[in-house]
C-alpha cells in the first residue's frame, strides 16, 4: 500500500481487480459451455445423418423383402453372371405370379451361377431381390455399416462410450448375421 493512498481508494482498487477477474472467469466459462454445446449439437447431427443414410440405403431393398403382401414370390435359377448382375429364369411360387425367362438379380458374394434362390420381384420390373431371412439381413447390411460408423462419431464427438459400444455391437451383430445367413 502506498502510504499517501487512503484506505478507501485501496479497497476500491482491490474490488475492481476482483471484479475484472470474476468477469473474465465467467466469460471463459460461458464460452466453454457454448463450445461444448456446439460440439454436441454438430456431432449429434452428424451421427443422426449417418444413421438416416443407413436406413435410406437399406430401405430401397428392404421394403420389397419385408412388405411382401401382394408381391410376386418365386425362385430364380441363375444362368449367367456379369460384373454386377446375374440373370436367370424365374419360376413363380405365389398365385398370380407369372413365369419369366429372364430376370436380373444383383451379384453378391452369395449369388453363384447354377444356384437357386427364393426371391421377390420388384414391382413393374424384371428385377428380383432375395427373400426370407437371408434377404432381410442382406437388405439391412448398409444400416449395419452405418451403425459402426456412427459409433465412432458418438464415441469421439459426443464422448458417450456406452452408447457407442451399443451402436457398434448392433452393427457388428447385424453384419455378422447377414454374412452367416447369406
Q: Does the residue 135 lie in any domain?
A: no
Q: Does the residue 4 lie in any domain?
A: no
pLDDT at res. 97: 87
Query: Are 73 and 61 in the same domain?
Result: no
pLDDT at res. 152: 96
At 145-167, the pLDDT tens digits run: 999 999 999 999 999 999 999 99
**Phi and psi for 59 in degrees, rounded to 5?**
-65, -25
Query: Are 26 and 49 in the same domain?
Result: yes
Q: Does the residue 88 lie in any domain?
A: yes
CB atoms within 10 A of CB 50: 20
Q: How far is CA 121 from the centre of its chain?
A: 26
Query: Are 61 and 73 in the same domain?
Result: no
Give the whole-angstrom CA distance, residue 159 versus residue 83: 42
Query: Are 74 and 124 in the same domain?
Result: yes
Q: What per-residue string of b and e applies to 55-79 under the rule 16 or more CB within 10 Å gives b?
A: eebbeebbebbeeeeebbbbbbebe
Q: Does the residue 105 lie in any domain?
A: yes
Query: How far are the Cα atoms of 75, 86, 128, 140 from residue 97, in angstroms, in the given order?
Result: 11, 21, 13, 26
* Sequence-ordered list of residues with C-beta below 8 angstroms from that of 151, at least 6 positions apart, any chain: 164, 165, 167, 168, 171
Query: Are 150 and 60 in the same domain?
Result: yes
pLDDT over 60 (residue 64): yes
Query: Are 76 and 160 in the same domain?
Result: no
At 88-102, the pLDDT tens digits run: 999 999 888 888 999
Domain hosting 16: range is 9-65+141-181
Where are the extended beta strands (E) located within the chain?
73-81, 85-92, 100-106, 116-121, 127-130
At 8-60, the pLDDT tens digits run: 655 666 565 555 566 666 677 877 888 888 989 999 999 999 999 999 999 98
Give the whole-angstrom CA distance, residue 108 versus residue 93: 23
pLDDT at res. 107: 74
What's the average model confidence in pLDDT over 52-78? 92
Q: Does the residue 97 lie in any domain?
A: yes
Q: Does the residue 147 lie in any domain?
A: yes
Give the whole-angstrom CA distance, residue 5 versus residue 136: 85
Query: Are 146 and 60 in the same domain?
Result: yes
Question: pLDDT exceeding 70 applies to what percent of the chain?
Answer: 85
Q: Does the residue 20 lie in any domain?
A: yes
Query: Are 147 and 123 in the same domain?
Result: no
How many domains would you assign to the chain? 2
CA atoms in the 13 A half-sphere facing the CB of 49: 7
Query: Are 74 and 55 in the same domain?
Result: no
At 101-139, the pLDDT tens digits run: 999 998 776 788 888 999 999 988 889 998 889 889 989
Better pLDDT: 74 or 15: 74
Better pLDDT: 182 or 67: 67
* Mean per-residue pLDDT of the chain: 86
Query: Are 74 and 123 in the same domain?
Result: yes
* Sequence-ordered list of residues with C-beta below 8 angstroms from that of 38, at least 6 positions apart, any chain: none
Q: Does the residue 121 lie in any domain?
A: yes
Amino acid at each position: 500500500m502506498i502510504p499517501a493512498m487512503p484506505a478507501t481508494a485501496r479497497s476500491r482498487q482491490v474490488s475492481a481487480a476482483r471484479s475484472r477477474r470474476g468477469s473474465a472467469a465467467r466469460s471463459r466459462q460461458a464460452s466453454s459451455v457454448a463450445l461444448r454445446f456446439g460440439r454436441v449439437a454438430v456431432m449429434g447431427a452428424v451421427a443422426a445423418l449417418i444413421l438416416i443414410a443407413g436406413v435410406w440405403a437399406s430401405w430401397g431393398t428392404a421394403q420389397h423383402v419385408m412388405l411382401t403382401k401382394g408381391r410376386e414370390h418365386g425362385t430364380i435359377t441363375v444362368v449367367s453372371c456379369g460384373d454386377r448382375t446375374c440373370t436367370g429364369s424365374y419360376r413363380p411360387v405365389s398365385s398370380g405370379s407369372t413365369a419369366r425367362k429372364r430376370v436380373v438379380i444383383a451379384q453378391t458374394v452369395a449369388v453363384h451361377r447354377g444356384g437357386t434362390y427364393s426371391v421377390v420381384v420388384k414391382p413393374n420390373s424384371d428385377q428380383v431381390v432375395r427373400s426370407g431371412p437371408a434377404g432381410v439381413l442382406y437388405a439391412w447390411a448398409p444400416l449395419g455399416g452405418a451403425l459402426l460408423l456412427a459409433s465412432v462419431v458418438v464415441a469421439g464427438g459426443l464422448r458417450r462410450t456406452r452408447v457407442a459400444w451399443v451402436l457398434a455391437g448392433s452393427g457388428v451383430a447385424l453384419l455378422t448375421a447377414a454374412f452367416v445367413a447369406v
